[in-house]
Structure 1
Amino acid sequence: MQLPTPRGPLTAALFERLRRSPHTFDPPPVPAGGPAVDDEDLQLALFACYELHYQGFEEVRQEWEWEPSLLAARKALERRWEEGLARAVLRPPSPPSPPLAPGVPMRRALAELVAADEGPRLSAFLARQADLEQFREFVAHRSIYHLKEADPHTWAIPRLSGRPKAALVEIQADEYGGGRVERMHSELFRATMRGLDMDDSYGAYLERVPAITLAISNTMSLFGLHRRHLGALLGHLAAFEMTSSAPNHSYSLGLRRLGGDETARRFYDEHVQADAVHEQVAAHDMCGGFVAQHPSRAGDVLYGAACALTLDRLFAEHVMDRWRRGVSSLREAREADLMAGSR
């Protein structure tokens, strides 16, 4: 993957630095104002910083990953995003980390949080009404995370112990295909992309996805890279698993309606079965076990779950709003740009 086109002064300055050998520099100022979740420049800059901890960029030297100047710049970006994320998720006077009510098990608290979440039924639209171009757009958005699926949450494993650690390992082992490359969820998603005649290379649609799509990925990386966000990372994963089975069933139905074969649909069908089990393990054993060990961090778990639900709702609102207006949900997207070989 190569560095994308800058989307403002932050990314222009940052990418100019990253194309050179690692060196000391003063962090560029991070402008305030406007919702951080919609800030294209902020989200792309943060995504680029985080990507150095994954597969990186071809023209960026690996030594940049732990360069103190870049970490200082990332810290300023993270500060803006953490503040913006809290504003997006919590409406005053809600506290930053709402405590778990006395006598309420974590599994029940998470279930109530999921049940209270409301948003546009993107999955129902994809199942019944979306055309092939719209389904490809949806897959392009999701490719930013699904081509590295499970990786951000894996950072929690060495920070856990006992029952919650075992539970997370159980979930992640399934995500990575039980050691079989062809069953890894990222590889199953590649098969879906190929079945839709899309470019399945890592980061192929980074240029096209908007801030909200990057924000979803950035939040997982933020939680995964900082030990102080361990509870939020676990809550995020639990919400992810608890809201997965039904939508993935709808995605599979939609893809079958549009002519997708069994191989192309396997990614979604796999999640219908696997996540029905994962949600119980994540809510009860992983999050419940973590809170039993660390009662004071129950609010962190719930906050992480709320972040996952809120960002998914905002993503659905973005996509459905543009489709209702008859325009693409991607940035300057054209149908040809979603086809394999177009790059």
Structure 2
Amino acid sequence: MKSAELTEGESGGPVLPTGRGALSDRVLRALRGRPGRENCGPSGGAVHEADPYGEDLHLALYLCYELHYRGFQGVDPAWEWDPALLGLRAGLERRFLDALRTDTEDRPHGADRAFDGILVEPVHGTGLSHFLQDEGRLWQLREYAAQRSLYHLKEADPHAWVIPRLQGRAKAAMVAVEFDEYGGGRADRMHSRLFADLMTDLGLDTTYGRYVDAATAETLASINLMSMFGLHRALRGALVGHFAAVEVTSSPASRRLARAMRRADAGEAAVHFYTEHVEADAVHEQVVRREVVGGLLEDEPWLEADVAFGVAATDLLDTRVGERTLAAWRADRSSLRTPL
């Protein structure tokens, strides 16, 4: 199987996307200038009035977070720690986080009960992976992969932020799982590389960040969630809950997506990415729940509500992604902001 190359711009990062409103336009104008010389902080009212799940807020937040990953072409790396931009980011995060807490307040606050809600799948599932397995066409698989590429081309990176914030059992187990995500030390087996191979089979551009302009607010919010949790020590419990929720649901969903890729004759690499996750994530689920979550709560039992919040927030945002995408596909139209 030939490995695709992860391509980037000449300066080591993707190009800046197009703005979607006052907040993201303000961040983009700042990033095109010099750090410390731009007033990139809109009034508190502008952030407070923004839709906490909307296009503008989540592109602005995505831009801020990407400075901690690969940055952007032509953008000074010093923006990563610019005080004014960090102040704006904090306001965006508060708006998003407050909405998540409000919209999940009726969910279980105990970790075991939170996991109970996602451990057993319904007999007749209606989510994205079920649709793609049973009805998905090649163009829909391509759209799904294009949006997912904003995470999968950096797979495991957002979760790695939590490692120095853990200790003992939780840290050792988290490192073990991440080691698998990074290919067990082999670049050609890194999950991000395997996803690039999948994209090549589907005829998609493997450039990191290439499909930001096509991604919906719901997709950006789900990706921003893990960056927000990962970049804040105070949210380490939520990040562990998020990671556990991903691992718990990944194996059965990956089995369905492998079937979808095979049925659509998408290619060997496209099928392989998901068959790899069926086996790996079935093991990871047990390690994460017993050792990462169990170890964390043994050391810091007061974080149990945060773990449950991470599970609930993940489920909430994944549901929003699925509902928007399926509504478009069932109307036989593109789920992307800009069709492929």
* TM-score clears 0.5: yes
CA distance in 2: counterparts of 1:267 and 1:88, whole angstroms:
33
1:135–1:271 Cα change, 3 Å: same
Q: Deviations over 1:164-213 (max 9, x none)?
A: 00110111000000010110000000000000011011011001001000
CA distance in 2: counterparts of 1:314 and 1:26, whole angstroms:
30
Counterpart amino acid of 2:134? R
Worse overlay, 237-246 or 309-318: 309-318
Counterpart amino acid of 1:309? D
- Is 1:28 aligned to residue 42 of structure 2? yes
CA distance in 2: counterparts of 1:243 and 1:23, whole angstroms:
43
CA drift of 1:265 comes to 1.3
Choose the corresponding residue for 1:74, options 89, 93, 100: 89
CA drift of 1:285 comes to 0.6
Contact 1:117–1:309, Cα closer than 8 Å, also in 2: no
CA distance in 1: counterparts of 2:17 and 2:103, whole angstroms:
26
Runs of 4+ in 1 over 6 A off after TM superposition: 116-119
- Is 1:301 aligned to residue 307 of structure 2? yes
| Structure 2 segments unaligned to the other structure (5+ residues) | 1-13
CA distance in 1: counterparts of 2:185 and 2:332, whole angstroms:
43
Contact 2:161–2:231, Cα closer than 8 Å, also in 1: yes
Fraction of identical pairs, as percent: 45
| Structure 1 segments unaligned to the other structure (5+ residues) | 101-105, 338-343
CA distance in 2: counterparts of 1:121 and 1:67, whole angstroms:
40
Aligned residue number for residue 21 of structure 2: 8
- Is 1:124 aligned to residue 130 of structure 2? yes
Contact 1:35–1:84, Cα closer than 8 Å, also in 2: no
Contact 1:120–1:320, Cα closer than 8 Å, also in 2: no
CA distance in 2: counterparts of 1:117 and 1:309, whole angstroms:
13
Contact 2:51–2:57, Cα closer than 8 Å, also in 1: no
CA distance in 1: counterparts of 2:121 and 2:233, whole angstroms:
27
Q: Deviations over 1:93-127 (max 9, x none)?
A: x6xxx543xxxxx5x43431314787732111111
Aligned residue number for residue 242 of structure 2: 236
Counterpart amino acid of 1:10? L
Aligned residue number for residue 48 of structure 1: 63
CA distance in 1: counterparts of 2:215 and 2:306, whole angstroms:
29
2:335 partner SS: coil
Contact 2:202–2:267, Cα closer than 8 Å, also in 1: no
Counterpart amino acid of 1:113? G
CA distance in 2: counterparts of 1:117 and 1:319, whole angstroms:
20
Aligned residue number for residue 214 of structure 1: 220
How do residues 136-155 of structure 1 correspond to structure 2 at under 5 angstroms?
136-155=142-161
Counterpart amino acid of 1:27? G
Choose the corresponding residue for 1:156, options 162, 166, 169: 162
Counterpart amino acid of 2:117? L
Aligned residue number for residue 103 of structure 1: none
1:290–1:259 Cα change, 3 Å: same
Aligned residue number for residue 186 of structure 2: 180
The TM-score normalised by the length of structure 1 is 0.90
Aligned residue number for residue 114 of structure 1: 118
Counterpart amino acid of 1:28? P
CA drift of 1:128 comes to 1.7
1:281–1:109 Cα change, 3 Å: farther
Contact 1:234–1:301, Cα closer than 8 Å, also in 2: yes
Counterpart amino acid of 2:288? A
1:244 partner SS: helix
CA distance in 2: counterparts of 1:275 and 1:236, whole angstroms:
14
1:321–1:26 Cα change, 3 Å: closer
